[in-house]
Structure 1
Amino acid sequence: MPAAIIVAHGAPADPDPQDLVLHDLARRVGEVMPDWDIRGATLAREGSLDCALSGLQDPLIYPFFMAEGWFTKRELPRRLAELGFEGLTHLDPLGVDPDLPDLIAKAALQAAEDAGITSSEAHLLLAAHGSKVSSKSKDASYAMADILKRWGGFRDVSVGLIEEAPFLAEAAANLGQAVCVPFFALRAGHVVGDLPEALEEAEFAGPCLDPIGEHPQIPHLIAAALKRAGP
């Protein structure tokens, strides 16, 4: 039976809730792919990854991250090698999936319609992580924004970041009619704390979606990626 492990970073300070989220995500992907063994794991919870690997030989690895970076390129392969799993096939992370821009655009357009906003006259704000130590997160956010601009539907698309400029509180100010899409895989610290605080500071009045990694279609998107890469 083909197998895959969906791996996220998780929350080191409180690892259990995010680990359960990954197990539930794996279950929902498995419902779409009943002939596959789909498992979830987080790097933050001790024993999570080795438990997910138990009994498997060559599972595909799906990084539930929004950008390629240190965790996907170095830390995850290192952890797998320590557990005796070198040379596994790693898929591209969620944030660069070719089907993700269409999902984001449709979700944002629906949010605008539900709020009575004319999308062609409104702004789409992509709220993302950013990083003080690497440009990878910022670069991935801007790459997504560029794709969404070409996709159309909104007057303009811009990026606001939590950990570096352009900071979200400034990027979200004085936009007029706007929709905010959190470019995050999981509902963790930044999404529940920093993000709403920044929008409140900016007096952002438009709808703000759930983190895109929680969208109901994400299991189908992951399943499609696994089928493209699988046997």
Structure 2
Amino acid sequence: MSGTRSPFPTAPATEGGVLIVAHGSPSDPAPQEEALRDLAARVAAQAPGLRVGGTTLAAPGAFEKAVADLDRPLIYPFFMAKGWFVRKPLAERAQPFGLHILPPFGLEPELDAAVADAITATLDRQGWAARETGLFVAAHGSAVSQKNAETTRALAARLALRLGMGRVATGFVEQEPRLETAARDLGQALCLPFFALRSGHYSDDLPRALDAAGFTGPVLPPFIEWPATARLIARSLAARATPAEAMR
């Protein structure tokens, strides 16, 4: 918007490598801190010469320590949409250091292909035909921003078209339609959780909702556990060699 300062700085910040940042769990930050460090190590293994760190916003002081250790890194949001958490809490934490924030993981151009491959592999294991199978995409949603829902629905529509799925539905934890409602009466179907981490939403909210809906199909893991995730991030970072690609 004209006259409004962007929350994403434009100063170069490539010399310090890349810091992968997720939201994390304020009630129990340690497991997801460890998961982000492991993801960073996997990305670094596929990006020779690039320093890569990983942290969450939830662990007290962890973000600031990681920034200091890397010395002005680019920030890679391990989020599924360019929603409120990226534009507000993450931007506010990055602003004092003058750091670039790259587009989030959920907007990666190659994500569709990786997800399509995973769904195809799941269909093959089940012995199901795509045209006879429904796709249920479960996501966080938000009461304050539509970005997560918009990103989720757009992905679901692209996948349904790309794979020829028989039905597609999306449901959310924090907005309508809720997970339990959207997962009902899908028949033969599989679930794609549009979650970056193995959080409480994935481990608790989603199973409860699927049980209540009578959904019995396979459920894919959160993206941090996908073998393709580190490779996808590493390739994306290699393609963004200059700050010009940073998020506006």
Q: Give the TM-score taking structure 1 as reference length.
A: 0.93
TM-fit CA distance, 1:34: 2.2
Whether contact under 8 Å (2:16, 2:71) holds in the other structure is: no
Whether contact under 8 Å (1:181, 1:212) holds in the other structure is: no
Question: 1:42 and 2:59 equivalent?
Answer: no
Which residue of 1 is the match for residue 208 of structure 2? 197
Moved more, 52-61 or 174-183: 52-61
Letter in 1 for 2:84: W
TM-fit CA distance, 1:162: 1.5
Whether contact under 8 Å (2:44, 2:50) holds in the other structure is: yes
Secondary structure at the aligned position of 2:70 is classed as: coil
Q: In structure 2, what is the Cα distance between the partners aligned to 1:150 and 1:92?
A: 25
Letter in 2 for 1:145: A
Q: In structure 1, what is the Cα distance between the partners aligned to 2:199 and 2:100?
A: 27
Which residue of 2 is the match for residue 173 of structure 1? 184
TM-fit CA distance, 1:17: 0.8
Q: In structure 1, what is the Cα distance between the partners aligned to 2:133 and 2:28?
A: 38
Q: In structure 2, what is the Cα distance between the partners aligned to 1:181 and 1:6?
A: 23
Q: In structure 2, what is the Cα distance between the partners aligned to 1:2 and 1:99?
A: 25
Q: In structure 1, what is the Cα distance between the partners aligned to 2:26 and 2:126?
A: 36
2:143 alignment partner, one of 132, 147, 152:
132
Question: 1:59 and 2:73 equivalent?
Answer: yes
Letter in 1 for 2:19: I
Secondary structure at the aligned position of 1:10 is classed as: coil
Deviations 1:69-111 (A, max 9, x none): 22211221211233xx11x322110111111111111111211
Whether contact under 8 Å (2:133, 2:189) holds in the other structure is: yes
Q: In structure 2, what is the Cα distance between the partners aligned to 1:166 and 1:213?
A: 25
Which residue of 1 is the match for residue 4 of structure 2? none
What RMSD over aligned residues (CA atoms) do the two structures have, in Å?
1.5
1:8 alignment partner, one of 2, 6, 22:
22
Question: 1:161 and 2:172 equivalent?
Answer: yes
Which residue of 2 is the match for residue 107 of structure 1? 118
Q: In structure 2, what is the Cα distance between the partners aligned to 1:132 and 1:2?
A: 35
Question: 1:32 and 2:29 equivalent?
Answer: no
Which residue of 2 is the match for residue 80 of structure 1? 94
Stretches of structure 2 that go unaligned for 5 or more consecutive residues are 1-14, 243-248
Which residue of 2 is the match for residue 207 of structure 1? 218
Letter in 2 for 1:155: G
Secondary structure at the aligned position of 1:185 is classed as: coil
Stretches of structure 1 that go unaligned for 5 or more consecutive residues are none
Secondary structure at the aligned position of 1:217 is classed as: helix
TM-fit CA distance, 1:2: 5.9
Whether contact under 8 Å (1:128, 1:159) holds in the other structure is: yes
Letter in 1 for 2:189: A
